[in-house]
A and B are shown apart, each in its own frame.
Chain A
Amino acid sequence: MGKNRLEAFSDGVIAIIITIMVLELKVPHSPDFHALLPLWPVFMSYVLSFVYVGIYWNNHHHLIHVVQEVSGGVLWANLHLLFWLSLIPFVTAWMGENQFETGPTAAYGIVLSMCAVAYSILAKVLTSNHPKNAALAEALGDDRKGKLSIVLYLVGVAVSWFAAWLGFVVYLAVAVMWLIPDRRIEEKVIEDEKGQSSTPDAPDRFRQR
Chain B
Amino acid sequence: MALGKTRLEAFSDGVIAIIITIMVLELKVPHEADFRALIPLWPVLMSYVLSFIYVGIYWNKHQHACHPPFCATGEVF
- B-contacting residues of A (Cβ < 8 Å)? 1, 5, 8-9, 12-13, 15-17, 20, 24, 72, 75-76, 79, 82-83, 86-87, 89-90, 93-94, 97-98, 101-104, 106-107
Contacts and interface: CB of A to CB of B under 8 A. Distances in A.
A5 B22 CA distance: 20
Interface residues of B, number: 28
Contacts of A83: 49, 52
Given A9-B13, A87-B24, A90-B24, A103 B29 contact: no
A16 B29 contact: no
Most buried by B among A15, A83, A107: A83
Given A75-B60, A104-B33, 7 more contacts: A13-B21, A16-B22, A76-B60, A79-B52, A79-B56, A89-B24, A103-B37
Contacts of A12: 13-14, 16-18
B27 interface: yes
Interface string B21-46: 11011010111111101100000000
A99 to B, nearest CB: 8
Nearest to A78: B56
B29 A90 contact: yes
A98 B33 contact: yes
Given A9-B13, A101-B33, A103-B35, A82 B63 contact: no
Contacts of B76: none
What is the interface of chain B mostly: helix, strand, loop, or mixed?
A: helix
A20 B21 contact: yes
B20 interface: yes
B56 A16 contact: no
A24 B27 CA distance: 13
A83 B49 CA distance: 8
Contacts of B9: 5, 8
Nearest to A2: B63
Most buried by A among B13, B52, B59: B13
A97 B29 CA distance: 8
A9 B10 CA distance: 8
Contacts of A17: 21
Interface in B51-69: 52, 56, 59-60, 63
Nearest to A70: B63
Contacts of A87: 24, 27
A13 B33 contact: no
Most buried by B among A24, A93, A94, A101: A94
Nearest to B38: A107
